[in-house]
Amino acid sequence: MSVEFATCTYQYRRGPVVLDRLSFAFPPGRTVLLGPNGAGKTTLLALAASALKAHSGTVSFAGLDPAVRSQLREYRRQVGWMPQHITPAPGMTCREQVAYAGWLKGMSRREAWDGALAALDRVGLARKADQQASSLSGGQLRRVGVAQTLVHSSRLVLMDEPTAGLDPAQRGTFRKVVEELAGTADVVVSTHQTEDLSEVYDHVVVLSDGVVRFTGTVEEFYALAPQDTASGRVADGAYTAVLGGGEAW
């Protein structure tokens, strides 16, 4: 079992309730998280990463509860987290920024330094290792964010819109990274990119208004599309069917 939520409630200050007593467990393997803007996807992943704390209920992974102070450090060692917005660390090179992320997760300085270069190589940025992170393009900076989630060999990898701003070639590199994580880590990716779902992911979860509207295999998701759906629009057709013809991405 991957990360699990038990009757979790979360509300931003002066805002509406985003999640209301949500009980749900992501399936093991590689999962894509879909849903309209404002559905609660970012909040759900941030809770799973322990970046946010549920107002009530619990979050757990591998028998660890991040709300228990004595378990928080180990929980964060197990979980890699790429938020929606990646900020370059002032004055740091790409390698230094990725290594710093590893050090924060409990790696030694030497392990983090060596691991940073290997992680950057996996996302096609090894040649940029000694370049200032602040000088990168938006797409390159997002790949640094992916490298930060990989450097410490986490057992759960959470990524929020990791392919936003990436060109087709860069998205291909990202898909390869996700494929390579099979068997070593559970992966949950929130994205609006639905091309080739069956080639990258095992499961689909659709979230809307803080409620899980669908969870199942990619094949089960595709089967929801109307029979007259064009071959290149099956994912869109299935998504619309789940939401009852409501709001698109």
What pLDDT, in 10s, does the model give residues 101-145?
Answer: 999 998 999 999 999 999 999 999 999 999 999 999 988 999 999
Q: In angstroms, what CA-CA distances link 140 with 17, 132, 244?
A: 34, 12, 37
- Which of 104-113, 114-123, 148-157, 171-180 comes out lowest in average pLDDT? 171-180
Label residue 19 exposed, middle or buried (CB < 10 Å: 0-12, 13-18, 19+): buried
What's the predicted TM-score (pTM) here?
0.91
| DSSP line for the chain | ---EEEEEEEE-TTS-EEEEEEEEEPPSSEEEEE--TTSSHHHHHHHHTTSS--SEEEEEBTTB-TTSHHHHHHHHHHEEEE-SS--PPTT-BHHHHHHHHHHHTT--HHHHHHHHHHHHHHTT-GGGTTSBGGGS-HHHHHHHHHHHHHTTT-SEEEEESTTTT--HHHHHHHHHHHHHTTTT-EEEEE-S--TTHHHH-SEEEEEETTEEEEEEEHHHHHTTS-TT--GGGHHHHHHHHHTTT----
Residue 100: give its domain's CATH number.
Answer: 3.40.50.300
Pick the range with the lowest mean pLDDT from 32-46, 83-97, 126-140, 161-175.
161-175
Residue 168 has pLDDT above 90, yes or no: no
Residue 7, pLDDT score: 97
Q: What is the pLDDT of residues 226-237, one digit of tens each?
A: 999 998 899 999
- pLDDT, residue 114, reads 96
How many domains are contained in the chain? Answer: 1
Looking at residue 245, its pLDDT comes to: 60
Nearest Cα neighbor of 142 from 108, 107, 191 is 191
Is 154 in contact with 80 (CB distance < 8 Å)? yes
CB atoms within 10 A of CB 108: 11
Cα angle 208, 209, 212; round to 5:
50
Mean pLDDT for 207-220 is 96
pLDDT in tens, 40-67: 999 999 999 999 999 999 999 999 999 9
Average of pLDDT values for 159-174? 87
Confidence of residue 1 (pLDDT cuts 50, 70, 90): low
Please compute the mean of the pLDDT values over residues 22-32 and round it to a whole number. Answer: 96
Containing structural domain, residue 136: 3-245
> pLDDT band at residue 249, thresholds of 50, 70 and 90?
very low
